[in-house]
């Protein structure tokens, strides 16, 4: 009678650790994507990318955008202005250019606008501070994702915070790096949102 090959069953702990690492990979990818896109957009105000110019307003409208979760959705007013955009360095004018604005403006108003790869953006202090907050949130997501990847933390029956903290490979140095970067990013989020509320 042929012998059956012995297959070692996968332990529940390993399955839970794998689930936590999947969560970590998702957090890292999301943080890198959103942080990278936002950081790239932040180069526009400094003239590194895009075309700075002026948009002469023809009309402004207020639309209501549905935001929030499926249970707690609400309408957020969004002001947009449409007009003719002319780049500072010359070139053909862009008709019917639309940009999201902090308020409505009268026809004929000239707005300082940056033409990006995909849209037009009004560069103001609020936009800069909000973008900085998004980048800091993305860094927090990357740090949390790395923590889950390294330890398997994040699944329902996975290790707790203390046990996962002890599992971090590299010892005290890696723990301090993760805690330091995550803490600074969290402080950056709070500071950016605080300044955004002051200049609003």
80 close to 60: Cβ distance less than 8 angstroms: yes
Structure tokens at 147: 């923590």
pLDDT at 177: 95
Which residue in this structure is represented by tokens 């560069």? Answer: 123
Residues 6+ apart with CB under 8 A from 94: 84, 85, 86, 115
Phi, psi of 125, rounded to the nearest 5 degrees: -65, -40
Per-residue pLDDT reduced to its tens digit, 81-99: 999 999 888 888 999 999 9
The helix (run of H) or strand (run of E) holding residue 135 is: helix 125-151
- Model confidence at 31, in pLDDT bands (50, 70, 90)? very high
pLDDT at 190: 93
**HSE-CB of 80 using CA atoms within 13 angstroms:** 12
Residues 6+ apart with CB under 8 A from 198: none
157 close to 12: Cβ distance less than 8 angstroms: yes
Closest CA to 56 of 111, 120, 98, 93: 111
| Global pTM value | 0.64
pLDDT at 3: 57
Q: Is 123 helix (H, G, I), strand (E, B) or coil?
A: coil
Q: In this structure, are strands 73-87 and 51-68 parallel, antiparallel, or unpaired? A: antiparallel
Which residue in this structure is represented by tokens 């249970």? Answer: 71
Domains of the chain, by residue range, sit at 15-42+128-199, 51-122
Residues 6+ apart with CB under 8 A from 121: 41, 44, 99, 100, 113, 114, 127
């Amino acid at each position: 009678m042929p012998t059956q090959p012995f297959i070692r069953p996968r332990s529940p702990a390993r399955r839970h650790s794998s689930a936590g690492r999947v969560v970590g990979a998702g957090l890292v990818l999301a943080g890198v994507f959103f942080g990278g896109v936002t950081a790239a957009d932040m180069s526009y105000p400094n003239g590194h990318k895009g075309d700075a110019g002026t948009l002469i307003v023809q009309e402004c409208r207020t639309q209501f955008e549905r935001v929030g979760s499926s249970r707690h959705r609400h309408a957020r007013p969004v002001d947009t202005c449409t007009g003719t955009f002319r780049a500072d360095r010359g070139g053909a004018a862009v008709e019917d250019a639309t940009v999201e604005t902090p308020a409505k403006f009268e026809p004929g108003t000239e707005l300082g606008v940056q033409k990006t790869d995909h849209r037009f953006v009004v560069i103001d202090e609020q936009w800069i501070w909000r973008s900085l907050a998004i980048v800091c949130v993305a860094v927090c997501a990357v740090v949390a994702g790395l923590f889950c990847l390294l330890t398997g933390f994040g699944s329902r029956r996975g290790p707790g915070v203390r046990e996962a903290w002890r599992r971090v490979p590299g010892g005290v140095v890696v723990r301090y790096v993760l805690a330091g970067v995550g803490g600074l990013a969290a402080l950056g989020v709070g500071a950016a949102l605080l300044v955004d509320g002051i200049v609003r």
